Amino acid sequence: MKELMSGNEAIARGAFECGVRFAAGYPGTPSTEIMESFAKYPGVYAEWSPNEKVAMEVGLGAALAGARAMVVMKHVGVNVAADPLFTASYTGTNGALVVITADDPSLHSSQNEQDNRHYARFAKIPMLEPSDSQEAKEYIKLAFQVSEQFDTPVFLRSTTRVSHSKSIVSLDEPLKVVDRTGIRFDAEKFVMVPMNARKRRVIIENRMQNLKEFAETFSENRIEFNDLEVGIITAGMPYNYIKDVFPNYSYLKLGLVYPLPEKLIRRFAERVNKLYVIEELDPFIEEQIRAFGIEVTGKSIFPYTNEFDPGIIEECISGRHSLTSSTQNIIIPPRPPNLCPGCPHRGLFYVLGKLDVFVTGDIGCYTLSYMKPLEGLHSCVCMGASIGMAHGMSKALGEKGKGKVVGVIGDSTFLHSGITPLLDMAYNRSNALIVICDNRTTAMTGMQEHPSTGFTLQGEKTAAVDLVGLVNTLGINSVRVVDPYDIKTVKDVLLEELAKEGPSVVISRRSCVLFKRETSAQKRMSLAVDPEKCTGCRLCLDLGCPPLAWKDRDNLSLQDDGKARLKKRKGVAEIDRNLCNGCGLCQKICRAGAIMEEI
């Protein structure tokens, strides 16, 4: 059987085929669909954990109980999971533990472009990197084998292009699952106090030596001798790009990107005349090859940033501009992202943008409101940072900062990493105001469940944490809930809370307009502008709502033309009925009463 699969679907399939029945993760592009696909297989346990550190700990617990456990996250998620991960390298796995890091060269959907291959070296954990969907399916199986053979967590690194592009995959019969779980006590291995950890430290170094030997004969570290004039060492998606433009060169394609097979690389280098390393982002492989004392060309001609494509590689190697440089020459009009029509975040940020406050932002759909015309968010660093930053800023400003600092955070992000900094605010008597943008889902990554939605990843009903109660329990006494469609109340409540002494929280609550479970309840009539009543003041355009546009007087239809000219307006607002979902925000701010439901 063959199927067209994305890299993410193939990883899930490979895990299922090789008997994995346990997975934990936190959503994040480009990794999300791995968990969503895996969760659909029969007999598996798959959970969205509140964050990546928890997912890592859940996976480690399952592995220590003898299971084959998979932990899934995007590249920055590994920063969050790093604490347990580094020491999991010491404890080893008992069962098997594979950590999937989905990196994002070109920052298609991320706040940074970090190259997570460094984590493999840093945490002394082997890393495999597939270059297409078929390999993605096979490599996850190999990753579990390596984990079991060497008693170590193993990384599988994917990149956006591998995760999201589709190619043909041959399916295999899933292995018959043998339950190897059971409780095993082994304090010297599992209790990482200094005395035990010191011994494990030595074991890790021995393990790395053994893994280096393993790398020399590992079947996926593959040499393809051809034209010996040029030899290319590469891994992952760039392999496909180079093969496209230079099919006749010789290749050493690395399936295991850490640790490197020194002897194999040496053998390859000796046979070819000119040696290149072609890798996206950092010179991770190149620097190690140089440290082996081998002459190689890499980042002196290839870019450090962004994804490659066949055109870039051809240009760099030939040193001339390439006519085949595919994506480089296509000019695409810029289409900046925007909040959806009817997005509940819009009302809140419309108000915040007009207040004289600094808004420390966070990561989620609402981050888009930093742009014109809303301009209601003034910083964004990483998930959860908004609350700590608001607190720090407010403390540093002292009296000057009173009523001037607001932190905003989404519901999923609050539960991911906002609880501890809010506890800090209560504990250290902050003066900042925090707004939790509660749209009842993890919208930005595609509507995943989280601990306050009342549903699990596998669709079961479960406990839903009450955000008001949680915030109160952390020690915040002033908690208000507002509807962001009610702009006037939002403004009044924000001003009241900003005027108060001590920390406050406002929960801006309304479901995401795209949220499947609740969209039917939200169906509304689209709105229209009465050109006769519209004064052309443009106030409604300040919302930046996609259906709202400006129609110049010269472009008015004959019917509207006379009326517009009579009133000497430069034009009027109009609403695209195909986009409008009738949220009514524009109606609320229109002073002329010119916006009404379409008849």
Ligand X SMILES: Cc1ncc(C[n+]2csc(CCOP(=O)(O)OP(=O)(O)O)c2C)c(N)n1
Q: Which is nearer to ligand X, 58 or 80 (CB)?
A: 80
Q: Which stretch, 250-258, 261-269, 359-367, 477-485, contacts ligand X (CB under 6 A)?
A: 359-367
Question: Binding ligand X by CB under 6 A: which of 411, 497, 560, 574?
Answer: 411
Q: Give the amino acid at 198.
A: R
What does each C-alpha distance from 160 to 80, 106, 332, 364, 512 come to in angstroms?
A: 20, 9, 20, 19, 26
Say if residues 48 and 448 touch (Cβ distance below 8 Å): yes
Q: Which stretch, 9-17, 58-66, 364-372, 500-508, contacts ligand X (CB under 6 A)?
A: 364-372
Which residues 68-107 are close enough to bind ligand X by CB under 6 A? 74, 76-77, 80
Q: Is 531 in the site for ligand X (CB under 6 A)?
A: no
**Residue carrying the six token digits 């593959």:** 222
Say if residues 130 and 255 touch (Cβ distance below 8 Å): yes
Rounded to the nearest 5°, which phi and psi values hold at 99?
A: -110, 120
What does each C-alpha distance from 486 to 109, 207, 386, 430, 525 come to in angstroms?
A: 31, 61, 24, 27, 18
Q: Is 289 exposed, middle or buried (0-12, 13-18, 19+ CB in 10 A)?
A: buried
Q: Which is nearer to ligand X, 24 or 595 (CB)?
A: 24
Q: Which is nearer to ligand X, 221 or 412 (CB)?
A: 412
Q: Which is nearer to ligand X, 411 or 560 (CB)?
A: 411
Query: Measured from the CB of residue 199, what is the shortest distance to ligand X in angstroms?
Result: 33
Instruction: Name the E strands within 466-587.
Output: 478-482, 504-509, 527-529, 548-552, 571-575
Q: Is 28 in the site for ligand X (CB under 6 A)?
A: yes
Question: Binding ligand X by CB under 6 A: which of 365, 387, 474, 540?
Answer: 365
Q: Which stretch, 154-162, 390-398, 408-416, 481-489, contacts ligand X (CB under 6 A)?
A: 408-416
Query: Measured from the CB of residue 84, what is the shortest distance to ligand X in angstroms?
Result: 14
Q: Is 347 in the site for ligand X (CB under 6 A)?
A: no
Binding mask 36-55 for ligand X (x = CB under 6 A): ----------------x---
Q: Is 119 in the site for ligand X (CB under 6 A)?
A: no
Q: Is 516 exposed, middle or buried (0-12, 13-18, 19+ CB in 10 A)?
A: exposed
Q: Which is nearer to ligand X, 111 or 379 (CB)?
A: 111
DSSP reduced 3-state for 596: strand
Question: Binding ligand X by CB under 6 A: which of 7, 27, 298, 361?
Answer: 27
DSSP string, 400-426: GGTTTEEEEEEHHHHHHHTHHHHHHHH
Query: Measured from the CB of residue 158, what is the shortest distance to ligand X in angstroms?
Result: 15
Question: Binding ligand X by CB under 6 A: which of 125, 406, 444, 482?
Answer: 444
Q: Which is nearer to ligand X, 82 or 596 (CB)?
A: 82
Q: Is 360 in the site for ligand X (CB under 6 A)?
A: no
Q: Which is nearer to ligand X, 94 or 158 (CB)?
A: 158
Q: Is 504 in the site for ligand X (CB under 6 A)?
A: no
Q: Give the amino acid at 218.
A: F
**Residue carrying the six token digits 């040193």:** 319
Q: Which is nearer to ligand X, 22 or 48 (CB)?
A: 48
How many residues bind ligand X, per CB under 6 A? 25
Q: Is 288 in the site for ligand X (CB under 6 A)?
A: no
In the bound complex, which residue of the shown chain has the CB atom lying closest to ligand X? 410
Q: Which is nearer to ligand X, 514 or 580 (CB)?
A: 514
Q: Which is nearer to ligand X, 147 or 439 (CB)?
A: 439
Say if residues 497 and 480 touch (Cβ distance below 8 Å): yes
CA distance linking residue 243 with residue 520, whole number of Å: 49
Question: Binding ligand X by CB under 6 A: which of 22, 26, 119, 349?
Answer: 26
Element (H or E) spanning 147, and its range? helix 133-150
DSSP H helices in 158-221: 160-164, 187-190, 194-217
Of 149, 126, 150, 128, the closest CA to residue 140 belongs to 128
CA distance linking residue 13 with residue 169, whole number of Å: 10
Q: Is 7 in the site for ligand X (CB under 6 A)?
A: no
Of 277, 290, 193, 281, the closest CA to residue 231 belongs to 277
Q: Is 443 in the site for ligand X (CB under 6 A)?
A: yes
Question: Binding ligand X by CB under 6 A: which of 97, 363, 494, 506?
Answer: 363
Q: Is 383 in the site for ligand X (CB under 6 A)?
A: yes
Query: Measured from the CB of residue 108, what is the shortest distance to ligand X in angstroms?
Result: 12
Neighbours of 220 (CB within 10 A): 17
Of 310, 308, 311, the closest CA to residue 321 belongs to 311
DSSP H helices in 234-344: 238-245, 262-271, 284-291, 310-318, 326-329
Q: Which is nearer to ligand X, 223 or 481 (CB)?
A: 481
Question: Binding ligand X by CB under 6 A: which of 249, 366, 485, 515?
Answer: 366
Q: Which is nearer to ligand X, 343 or 527 (CB)?
A: 343
Q: Is 505 in the site for ligand X (CB under 6 A)?
A: no
Question: Binding ligand X by CB under 6 A: which of 394, 413, 431, 508?
Answer: 413
Q: Which is nearer to ligand X, 17 or 57 (CB)?
A: 57
Rg of the chain over Cα atoms, rounded to whole angstroms, equals 28
**Residue carrying the six token digits 């059971």:** 182
Question: Binding ligand X by CB under 6 A: which of 412, 430, 452, 581?
Answer: 412
Q: In the complex, which residues of this chain contact ligand X (CB under 6 A)?
A: 26-28, 52, 74, 76-77, 80, 111, 363-366, 383, 410-413, 437, 439, 441-445
